[in-house]
Homo-oligomer: A and B are copies of this chain.
Amino acid sequence: MTTPSSSSPDYATLGFTQILINLEHKGGIAIVTLNRAKYRNTFTKLLLKELTIAFELFDKDDRVRVVILTAGHDAPAYCSGADLTNGWDPWRSSKKPGAENNSPHADGGRLVLPIYTCRKLTIAAVNGDAAGIGITGLQLPFDFRFIWGGAKLTFPFVRRGISVDGLSSYLLPRLIGQSRATALLLSGLTVVPSSTLLSGLYFQILDRREDVLPAARAFALEMAGATSQVAVAYSKALIQRPGRSVEENHRLESECTYRTLNAGDAAEGVSAFLEKRKPVFRERLGDRWENWWDDQVYQYRKTKL
């Protein structure tokens, strides 16, 4: 059993340059803005590092209930993929994965893990074009995706000579089905959000770029006020790490039910419902979390790679 300790960092002092972080304490919303507009927000080793640190902190920061990732709506793109100034170099490694120190691993997947396993609600507010890691790592691991209807989107990997990246081979078939995922990943076609190939991927499609972040933020505020941080975390973990059969899943769900039912938020949730008022959930994830499924699937944050 490991319980990640909670923390309350001052995000302004972290010295990030490729992302900007704004924590709205009152609402519990952290907004992360990609800060490389001049370079079409392309992905670099430094951006990977800053985003990884940020999402690992959000995961443990009990003040944060919802995280939004976005870009400037007047940037040339949400993210145009990897920075290819020096070819695939930053992506490439001289060492075989799985060797001694178990690294390096593909940067796309390294970005996805801390976002996907962040126990808070996460929203991608995609207010521009996106390619490669811009649609894999910066969209697929999020819980909700808001997007500008005019965005051009592509998984270009097979047209660049490399295999699919950013855990898209795992996430996309699960998110929208293997038929659509195969068509998108093996063709590298450029599509728009209303394409039937993307059906089900986007939570909301907005007509104007400048409306994407406000819509995401309004939704985030509603979620932060209406949902239990603890209930969200356990529910998200169940969705991401289900049982291998319906019977095993029953056991996992029962464990989570046991943990959440015998806690304060459940009592408040019922009281508020019966009294027809909005609930005030006070429990903090740092106090309540336990990785009860350690020996079932994989230990939280200790990937045996």
Contact = CB atoms under 8 A, between A and B. Distances in A.
B303 A247 contact: yes
Main secondary structure of the interface of A (DSSP, over half): helix
Interface residues of A, number: 110
A146 B91 CA distance: 36
A159 interface: yes
Contacts of A144: 182-183, 186-187
A231 interface: yes
Contact of A160 (B109, B160, B273): B273
A212 interface: no
A239 B169 contact: yes
A12 interface: no
Nearest to A116: B246
Interface of A: 84, 87-88, 91-93, 96-98, 104-106, 108-110, 112-113, 116-117, 121, 143-145, 157-165, 167, 169-171, 173-183, 185-188, 196-197, 199-201, 203, 223, 226-228, 230-232, 234-236, 238-243, 245-271, 273-274, 279, 281, 283, 297-298, 303-305
Given A158-B232, A163-B238, A250-B305, 18 more contacts: A88-B266, A92-B261, A96-B258, A106-B258, A116-B246, A158-B227, A158-B235, A160-B266, A162-B266, A163-B235, A169-B238, A170-B243, A176-B179, A177-B200, A199-B199, A240-B246, A245-B297, A251-B305
23 contacts: A88-B261, A97-B254, A105-B250, A108-B257, A109-B250, A112-B246, A112-B250, A113-B250, A144-B182, A158-B231, A159-B269, A161-B270, A163-B235, A169-B235, A169-B239, A173-B174, A173-B239, A186-B227, A187-B227, A196-B200, A240-B246, A247-B303, A250-B305
